[in-house]
Structure 1
Amino acid sequence: MGNERYERRVGPEKGTALSDQVPHVLLIDDAPEDIRATLTLLRAQPWRVSVASEAHQGYQRALSLRPDLIVLDVHMPKMDGFSLCRLLREAPSTRQIPILFLSSANTPGERLEGLTLGGVDYIVKTSEPEEVLARIRIHLQLTWRQAPDSQPGLAELALESDQVVLRAAMRLIDQQLDDIPSLATIAQKVGTHEKRLSSIFREHLGTTVFGYIRDARLRRGQQLLAEGAMSVQDIAELVGFRSACNFTTAFRQRLGLTPSQFRQQTQGASGRGE
C-alpha cells in the first residue's frame, strides 16, 4: 500500500501539454520508500516523475509512456534490473531512452554489467540525493529534445513482446558464444522462463535455443575463417566448441567442406578475384 502513495502523484499522460514541455523521468524500484529523499528532490523539479514498483510494471510503463530518462534499480524480485535493461534496449520505442542505474548493488562486476548493457550511468544508493539529482539533470540536459522527430513508426511499435525477448536472447547468445550460460540462465537474463523461451525460438525461428546456438557458432566460425589467419583450433575455442575436431565435424555437416577447405576457397577466390 505504501507504494500507492508514490503512484498517485504522477502527472498527465504522454502527449498532453505538460509532458510536451517538461522532461519525464520514470523510476523503477521495488522499494521507492528507501530512496524517499531522492524522490522528494525529483518531485521538487519542474519535471514529470512516474514510479513503478516492479520490473514488469516498469517495462509496460516505459513502452506506453516513453519517458525521457529511466532510473532503474538492479535487485528486484521476479526480474532484475539487468534483465529489464536488455528488454528496454531491444524494444524500438525504448531503445534510445537513457537508463541510469540507481542501486545498492555495488560490486565492480555489477557496475560494469550495468554500463555494458547500455546504462548511461551507475549510481550507488548510498550516494547523496543531491548527487543523484545532479547526475539525472546532466543526462536530461544531454539528451532531452535532442531528436524530437525520431519517434518510432507504427510498425516498430507493433513489435510483439515475444520478439523483444527473442532479440534480447539472440544478442546475449551472440555475445557469449565461447561460454554460453545454461538455458535457465539465458531465460532469466531476458526476463522469462525456460519453457516460454524455448517456445519463442520454435515459433519465430523454427529451431530450438540450442539449435540457434550451434548455428550462431558456425556463422561466427565462417566469418573468422574468411577474414583472417587464426588457426582452426583457436577459432573452435573462440566460438565455443570443445575441440577443433568437433568444430570440423559440425562445419562439414553444415557446409559440406572442412574449415580449411572453406578458408582456401573463400580467401583464394578473394585474392585471385575468382
Structure 2
Amino acid sequence: MDDGRFEGRAAITGGAAASSEPHILLIDDVPEDIRATIILLKQQPWRVSLASDALQGYQRALALRPDLIVLDVHMPHMNGFSLCRLLREAPATRQTPILFLSSANSSMERLEGLTVGGVDYIPKSCAPEEVLARIKIHLQLTWRAPPAMPQSPADPEPEGDEIVLRAAMRLIENQLDDMPSLASLAQKVGTHEKRLTAIFREHLGMTVFAYIRDARLRRGQDLLCESAMSVQDVAELVGFRNACNFTTAFRQRIGMTPSQFRQHALGLVETESAGRA
C-alpha cells in the first residue's frame, strides 16, 4: 500500500462535501516553525491539511474548501497577503475565515493582513495554546455541522458488520493521505484485522488494501477534473508517495495516465459546452 506524506489528519473529501467535523488548511512554507501548533491541532476532532507554498495553498483551498485557513505571510513567489486577496475573490473561499499566523508582526503588516480580508492576525511567537484558542473562537462563530441526511424509510437500518464496514469506509475516505495501519484502522472501528478483512471480502469482494487503492484513484480522478493541481500534488493528497507510483497505478486501473485523463475530461467538457451553444 502507498503511504501518503504527513499532513495532519488531512481528509480528502469531494470539494465541499459535508462532514461532521471542521476542516482546517494550514499554509506555511516552513511548517517546522509551527510544528507545535500542528501537533496541538492534530489532537482536536478536526481534519487538518497542510500546503507548503502559496500556489499550492491556493489550489488546495479551492479543491478542498476548508472551513478555516491559517496563513503565513512571508512565502516565496507569492506572499500571504496576495494569496488572501485571491481567496477572497474566489467563490469557493470567499466566506472562509482566514487567520494569519506569521513572524511578520509590524503594525503595518498586521493592519494589511486585516485589511485584505484576514479575520485575525497571530504572531508566531504566541503560544500554540493561544493559537488553538483563537481558532476555536472563529470556528464557533462560523462553522456549523451539516444536518444529518434523513434515511429513506424503505432503506433497512445497517447493523452488525455493515455498520463496521460503513465506519471503516468513511474513515478511509477521510484519511486517504494519512492512512493508519490495518491494525489501527480495525481498532478505530472497534474490531481486529482478521474480522475487518473478512467483512470487506464478504461485502465488497475485495481486501481493505484494494479498497483503499480504489478510493485513492477515485479521489484522484475527481481532483484531476475539479482542480488545476499538479499530478504530483494530487498524488500526495490521495496518499501516494510520489507521482510515479500514482501514474503507474492510475494507468493500470484507468487505462491512461493522469495527464491524459485530465486532457480527455477537459475535452469532453468543452465538447458538451460547444454542443449546448
TM-score by length of 2: 0.49
> Highest relative contact order (Cα 8 Å, sep 6+), 1 or 2?
2
TM-score by length of 1: 0.50
Higher Rg: 1
